[in-house]
Amino acid sequence: MGRLLIVLWICMTVASPAAAGAWLREKGHGFTSVSATLFRFQGLTDYKTAVYAEWGMAKRLTMGIDINEQPDVTGHALIFARYPIRDMGTRGRLAAELGLGAHHWLGDWAPMSKLTLSYGKGLETRWGNGWLAVDTAWERRYGTETDIYKLDLTAGLSTARRIDPMLQLETAYVPGHSLFWTVTPSLLIEGGKGKTWVLGLERKSDLPGSLNIKFSLWREF
């Protein structure tokens, strides 16, 4: 049962929007992401959903929410604040983020917290401009004796083309267990009026032989 719980937690918590990271939202501007992922677990087809939003509250403060849910099984809801640490110009930038909220397992809710340190850098490549984001996080889920340590890398292109690529590598470590990882290559499809459709194929270490399908809609406003 303990192994099953850890696997389902990781299924829910490894993935995060590419928008999260060292960049802050301009004051008065926001971003939303709504996604659904179809996957197979122990021979059954299931799905999980995620809602993410952030808003530029001030020049040096971005606030947001992060909600994940696998219906009737597990999920979490966080409110977070992101603050810049250092802008190193062409060498990149650093930011810190604190999230507070709650998680549940089969309907039993308990508090949780998450602390993230992020590095971000703009890229210039032969295929056009892009970005690199590296996020390290410590996640504490109260009501359990489990800490989750994460290291995520995201790289993508942001050009005038209708379709651009993005690649995410997400890892999570729980003491006493093997390293969990997720690789998700995706296509970013320009939808006009601040919208971007995201179509990805997700491969997870804890779901061997399964190739999950992920759909997302991003919106900037």
What's the whole-model pTM score? 0.90
pLDDT per residue, tens digit, the chain (221 aa), is 455 555 555 555 555 555 567 999 999 999 999 999 998 777 778 899 999 999 999 999 999 999 999 888 889 999 999 999 999 999 999 999 999 999 998 889 999 999 999 999 999 999 999 999 999 999 999 988 779 999 999 999 999 999 999 999 999 999 888 999 999 999 999 999 999 999 999 999 877 777 899 999 999 99
- Distance (Å, whole) CA 48 – CA 214: 10
C-alpha distances out from residue 178 to 64, 137, 142, 144, 154, Å = 31, 17, 21, 18, 22
- Residue 50's Cβ-count burial label (10 Å; 0-12, 13-18, 19+) is buried
| Superfamily covering domain 2-220 | monomeric porin ompg (2.40.160.40)
- Distance (Å, whole) CA 66 – CA 54: 9
Taking alpha carbons only, the member of 149, 145, 147, 146 closest to residue 137 is 149
Instruction: Please report, in angstroms and rounded to a whole number, the separation of the first and last CA atoms in the chain.
Output: 43
Q: List the structure tokens of 212.
A: 């999950």
Q: Could you tell me the residue ranges of all domains in the chain?
A: 2-220
Residue with tokens 């606030």: 63
- Distance (Å, whole) CA 27 – CA 32: 15
At position 193, the amino acid (one-letter code) is K
